[in-house]
Amino acid sequence: METNNKKSSIKTVNPFTNKVEKEFEVMTDEEVDIVIDKAAKAFNTWKNVSFPERAKIIHKVASIMRERKEALGKLATIEMGKLLRESIYEVELSANIFDYFAKNAEKFLADHSLETEKGEAFICYEPIGVLLSIQPWNFPYYQITRSAASNLMAGNTMVLKHASNVPQCAQIMEDIFKEAGLPDGVYNNLFVPGNAVGKLVSDPRIKAVSLTGSEAAGASIAAAAGANVKKSTLELGGSDPFIVLEDADLDKAAETAVYGRMWNAGQVCVSPKRIIVPESKKTEFLNKVKVIFGKLKVGNPLDADTDVAPLSSEKAAQDVEKQIQKAAQQGAKIELGGKRLDRPGAFLEPTLITGVTPDMDAFYEEIFGPVFVLYSYKTVEDAIKLANATDFGLGGTVLGKDIEKAKAVARKINTGMVYINHVTGIAPELPFGGTKRSGYGREQSPAAIYEFVNAKLIRVTEPDNLY
């Protein structure tokens, strides 16, 4: 592990100004060992705390977050650049998720009786130990919440390796847990660089791993977890299709697609990245999209009238600009935008691209920025084929007035989630996760709490009645 950095890699760089706001020292091997040991010891007591007692603490976490949503939102905006209203919404959503699991965990993990011809059998659910949660920067509170809410209520303890560019959000969440009364060691931050993660996964005190991140990071973590016989869940990239059916309201479709794509400056795994419209309506739809693009205001994410914020970092803006340039070089048409803005900060023009074909890199890559790529189809079967022409399978959208037809199309899209007449969204009670190279496992909903518990069978019978 790197512990002698002259300049820490754990720091807040405000993407609106590209200036360093705060730095944190990278933990030494000894400090990391102490944190993990503390989490392992805390598990021995936390697992025996009753559901009502756990719930009281987790409800308090939600309450504190709501009370301080403006301050928490501003911190997230300063750290990774999203619009202030989006940051505040994220805080509120996170509070709702904490409340959801505080309210329902005991019911979800109640013993489950099994039908058997003789005797009695049931499943009981037990926590397994310390969870390593590795999370990205694009939703600094929500990403923590997705793994923390269900697993803390299940009786597991947790160590968090958050993204290195949002350390203050990571720290303030640990502070809130402590203020709410969570016992010492149950939830812990690790300020370490990304190259330290492999060592963490192999630590025998870590019993499971949850990661949200890139496909490459997911493959590495899955391999490390598998080598150590540990369960993992992965939420990786997405290249979500957005299919507009013939009977859809084009005005609504255009507005939903544009603002859905510009959400968090396009840095959302489940934002619509491939908009697919009928060939007969492509020109009309394109013109409507251009009108909306013309109204978008790029600027200070703290201003209420800003529509598009900077990207999370200077490198992120540079990387997306390179993807756009390569698409143009390979023959795609840049209808609007495509360039950096002549101003300080990690800004990129909202970009509209057409003419992307399967022989171009942009057809297969996830573009994590404010880039709207438009495709067209002749038949619904062509639209479905285009929607599935990717190794990713996270979310998707179908827009149409005939709901039964939209459902039929949704069933044929190979993703973990499909929303009808709405971009792929988030709610505490709805499962979140993908298939194919977008990962495996589910967060939120009842499904989340079963990912990292031992479903133990208890069988009651007489010796001569075993079978």
The pLDDT score that the predictor gives to residue 384 is 98
Structural domain boundaries, residue 68: 10-237+430-457
**CATH code of the domain covering residue 323:** 3.40.309.10
Q: Quick check: is 2 in a domain?
A: no
Same domain, 231 and 301: no
Look at the chain and report how many structural domains it folds into.
2
**CATH code of the domain covering residue 151:** 3.40.605.10
Active site residue 124: no
Active site residue 169: no
pTM: 0.96
Q: Quick check: is 369 in a domain?
A: yes
303-315 pLDDT, tens per residue? 999 999 999 999 9
Q: Quick check: is 102 in a domain?
A: yes
Same domain, 231 and 245: no
Same domain, 339 and 448: no
Per annotation, catalytic residue among 269, 321, 366, 443: 269
Q: Quick check: is 20 in a domain?
A: yes
Task: Give the CA count within 13 Å in the CB-facing half-sphere of 113.
Answer: 5
Same domain, 372 and 443: no
- From first to last of its 467 residues, the chain has per-residue pLDDT tens of 334 444 568 999 999 999 999 999 999 999 999 999 999 999 999 999 999 999 999 999 999 999 999 999 999 999 999 999 999 999 999 999 999 999 999 999 999 999 998 899 999 999 999 999 999 999 999 999 999 999 999 999 999 999 999 999 999 999 999 999 999 999 999 999 988 999 999 999 999 999 999 999 999 999 999 999 999 999 999 999 999 999 999 999 999 999 999 999 999 999 999 999 999 999 999 999 999 999 999 999 999 999 999 999 999 999 999 999 999 999 999 999 999 999 999 999 999 999 999 999 999 999 999 999 999 999 999 999 999 999 999 999 999 999 999 999 999 999 999 999 999 999 999 999 999 999 999 999 999 999 999 999 999 998 775 55
Per annotation, catalytic residue among 79, 90, 235, 366: 235
Same domain, 390 and 447: no
Same domain, 158 and 172: yes
Same domain, 231 and 246: no
Q: Quick check: is 425 in a domain?
A: no
Same domain, 187 and 250: no
84-114 pLDDT, tens per residue? 999 999 999 999 999 999 999 999 999 999 9
Q: Quick check: is 466 in a domain?
A: no
Same domain, 223 and 103: yes
Q: Quick check: is 5 in a domain?
A: no
Same domain, 318 and 277: yes
The share of the chain scoring above pLDDT 70, in percent, equals: 98
Same domain, 324 and 182: no
The pLDDT score that the predictor gives to residue 465 is 59
The pLDDT score that the predictor gives to residue 466 is 58
Same domain, 207 and 92: yes
Q: Quick check: is 184 in a domain?
A: yes
